[in-house]
Structure 1
């Protein structure tokens, strides 16, 4: 065996390196891997020695991948996932689907009446009981990155900004509007409330319109709802999520608020052949959302 080839122990160390890099540090990876920091550090050193380069900086300033580390993560993640797919793909030749199906989704889509994703997962389990779905909730940017890094095979999110590198299967449409707490004193007095900001094309469009000013920054719908229900701010929310929040806090649509239609899609990487598990799940999603 040449020095550059990886043996079984090296492959385990490579998996640990990928897990730490994807968790953005040792502390977050410790619980997931059930390993001590010392053990994790030893595995990463083995990979660095094997590749004869430093993959990450770790110290008081935190964990950060080097340029070589970013390349190693991309290549290793793809290679390890390919290894993991060998048995499921061989099983599929014989008509048996097995292994995992990694799915990334946007937050709070289950409250949308038109969303049939839970039923699709149930149907996948019925048709292919040996397939284990793994679901992660992430932001728009995180979902795109996870798909490109092949940490997930299917992403379910809005399609307001389409890219030619992805394939899109339309599922359902949700409508976004600007809301305020109905009993907000400033709103009753006719004073416009600052718009809670998150990086989103709809929010950026609103801030170009008269009557909207930039308010505090929030990450995610839950954070927007928290600030909005304080009564001091306006916020853009999907109607179905606003209905759920409105069960506890009275909300009203801001006068003159545009209605933004956002098409939710199942998204895959255009240049990457998908597994039979993913093919089946996409077929189920299409059938359930066709009505």
Structure 2
């Protein structure tokens, strides 16, 4: 494959390649870009021709980046991010904050009484109306991937352990316990009976600890807090849930904490990549976020 130097005309094709790679395929990229699969394929072909390597495999087996494609994606994202920083950085010299602010958070965080993300965003809008925030709700693992792939600048999620590649700023503490439903379908269940019920299972450090250390038996596979709560609501399973989330369901399902439940406190943090300089707008929002939670 003949190699040619990239020019400014290739920026559009690079953006399309990055969008397809981050979406893990053409179908999702079609929706995100409002572009046909044929057009997406043509842009990727152009980038491959310029670089002289195959960047991805696409076909009946699905979309998969090659080794070269993985490197190209990382460098292209860094380059595109640098371009996007030019105007906001110039605006900052004039004392004006502008540009995109990409945030990610885990599910149901807003139900915690100590969560003040909306207040920080409202204050940012007041002092910097030209900043364009976007907020995505993701799973724990997806948030980690989004940070590493630079699809978000700040992730707000629980921190089971701290990783060297990231900086963690504690905001508040979320406590998880094992819940059960004492009464359902005409059956009154004592907590001793509930202790023998299977534990709704999802891949999670607290769930693994409850099974390995506290003697619970493994129940059905579930995905996400909503699925755990649904299993508990049947009355046939117990489940690990954050206290603040279970409290929202209490009036309808009368969830109760097992008296001998293990307790898992978890700090909720704003997390940023250590090696990635934050934009001025991201720095400002992070400061507002920390101030809102300190107060």
TM-score (norm 2): 0.93
Is the Cα–Cα contact under 8 Å of residues 78 and 149 in structure 1 kept in the other structure?
A: no
Query: Unpaired runs of 5+ in structure 2?
Result: none
Whole-angstrom CA distance in 2 between matches of 1:65 and 1:225: 37
In the other structure, the counterpart of 2:112 is 112
2:193 matches 1:190 = yes
* Mapping of residues 1-291 of structure 1, within 5 Å: 3-8=4-9, 10-184=10-184, 185=187, 187-188=189-190, 190=193, 192-291=196-295
Aligned residues: 289
Q: Deviations over 1:146-176 (max 9, x none)?
A: 1122211111111121112211111111111
Whole-angstrom CA distance in 1 between matches of 2:238 and 2:188: 11
Is the Cα–Cα contact under 8 Å of residues 174 and 266 in structure 2 kept in the other structure?
A: yes
Tell me, what secondary structure is at the counterpart of 1:246? helix
Tell me, what secondary structure is at the counterpart of 1:211? coil
TM-score (norm 1): 0.94
Is the Cα–Cα contact under 8 Å of residues 186 and 193 in structure 1 kept in the other structure?
A: no
Tell me, what secondary structure is at the counterpart of 1:248? helix
Deviates more, 1:49-58 or 1:125-134: 49-58
Whole-angstrom CA distance in 2 between matches of 1:126 and 1:99: 15
Whole-angstrom CA distance in 2 between matches of 1:247 and 1:76: 50
| Change in 2 beyond 3 A, CA 1:37/1:174 | same
Whole-angstrom CA distance in 2 between matches of 1:118 and 1:199: 29
| Change in 2 beyond 3 A, CA 1:49/1:171 | same
Q: Deviations over 1:103-160 (max 9, x none)?
A: 1111110000000001111111001000011111112222122112221111111112
Q: Deviations over 1:78-107 (max 9, x none)?
A: 111111111111111110000111011111
Whole-angstrom CA distance in 1 between matches of 2:63 and 2:236: 37
Whole-angstrom CA distance in 2 between matches of 1:7 and 1:289: 43
Tell me how far 1:245 sits from its aligned partner. 2.0
Tell me, what secondary structure is at the counterpart of 1:262? strand
Is the Cα–Cα contact under 8 Å of residues 6 and 51 in structure 2 kept in the other structure?
A: no
Whole-angstrom CA distance in 1 between matches of 2:56 and 2:188: 50
Q: CA RMSD in A?
A: 1.7
Whole-angstrom CA distance in 1 between matches of 2:270 and 2:49: 40
Tell me how far 1:186 sits from its aligned partner. 9.0
Query: Unpaired runs of 5+ in structure 1?
Result: none
Whole-angstrom CA distance in 2 between matches of 1:199 and 1:161: 15
